[in-house]
Amino acid sequence: MDCRLPAQPPLPSGLYTCTAQGIWKNELVGEKMPRCLPVCGKPVHPVEQRQRIIGGLKAKLGNFPWQAYTNIHGPGGGALLGDRWILTAAQGSPNLDVFLGHINVEDITKLSNHPVRRVIIHPDYRQEESHNFEGDIALLELENSVTLGPNLLPICLPDNETLYDPGLMGYVSGFGIMEERISHNLRFVRLPVAKREICERWLRQKNRNDVFSENMFCAGNPATRQDSCQGDSGGVFAVSDKKNDRWVATGIVSWGIGCGEGYGFYTNVLKYVDWIKKVMEVED
């Protein structure tokens, strides 16, 4: 496993290797903390970016190795961070079943269910306010670290505003609704980040009073009828960060009006990176 060791005082001589359990091990002195965390955003089989996608395509194994499938009040999504955290939406996140490592619903649910140890919902989220998805972000800490491989790898967190430039293409993957029914296979669409003013104008034309705050962004193009849908909620908007050669979760599928009828609205992950890191650092 490719790992990065955080800066720390000089260690005893000898080679340190990262075990599958996420521990640095040295033949001379045994196990040594800190935890070894996997490098993120490096799929072994990245999605082909030349494709023009109409209404979504089936994903291949390894295209979106961070994809989580959740199921309680219907299907939802999420993304693996590190080796024991799931990034998802706050809506519907308590008491989840979490499945990882495959692109077919039947196959993924046959793999082991990953029990959730803790659910941390952002304090700004207000479940009772139906037109307000502010703070629609949650972290699920898994009971156990997962064993990583070509079909199960984490995605990176964003670190700069350029990943949100209008026109930048991102990928949304999920087991969501496709032609009025749940898809049994992981599918994906390629969507452009849209200009905020255009989405604000579109909402006004629809006479909507939904909150579209600075902690959200919108994506899509009404002309293509491509969108994320209800069953994709909690999945991520993944962007290829060419400069750093890695994939980044810039957004979380949050809300929209209908399916494929206009723009989709996403939690802006960059606005919550400090909160995410703080939660993940706390050992409970």
Q: What is the pLDDT of residues 66-86, one digit of tens each?
A: 999 987 666 789 999 999 999
| pLDDT for position 225 | 62
> Taking a C-beta distance cutoff of 8 angstroms, is the pair 219, 87 a contact?
no
Task: Name beta bridge partners: 238.
Answer: 171, 249
> Taking a C-beta distance cutoff of 8 angstroms, is the pair 90, 122 a contact?
yes
Q: Which class is 161-272 in CATH?
A: mainly beta
Q: What is the mean pLDDT of the chain?
A: 82
| pLDDT for position 54 | 42
Q: What are phi and psi of 205, to 5 degrees?
A: -65, -30
Please tell me the pTM assigned to this model: 0.83
Could you list the beta-strand ranges (E) of 160-235. Answer: 169-174, 177-178, 181-182, 187-192, 216-219
Percent of the chain with pLDDT over 90: 50
Collapsing DSSP to helix, strand or coil, 237 comes out as: strand
Range among 41-50, 129-138, 177-186, 230-239 with highest mean pLDDT value: 129-138
Would you tell me which CATH number, out of the four given (3.60.15.10, 2.40.10.10, 3.30.56.10, 2.20.25.10), belongs to the domain 66-154? 2.40.10.10
Q: Where in the chain is the domain with CATH 2.40.10.10?
A: 66-154, 161-272
C-alpha R_g of the chain: 19
Query: Cβ contacts of residue 212 below 8 Å, gap of 6+?
Result: 196, 199, 200, 203, 218, 265
Whether the per-residue pLDDT at 135 is higher than 80: the answer is yes
DSSP letter assigned to residue 189 = E
Structure tokens at 283: 């050992």
Report the residue count for the chain.
Answer: 284
d(CA 57, CA 68): 18
Collapsing DSSP to helix, strand or coil, 23 comes out as: strand
**Residues 124-138, mean pLDDT to the nearest whole number:** 91
Structure tokens at 42: 């490096």
**Residues 167-193, mean pLDDT to the nearest whole number:** 80
d(CA 13, CA 10): 9
- Answer positive or negative: Cα dihedral of 48, 180, 258, 67: negative
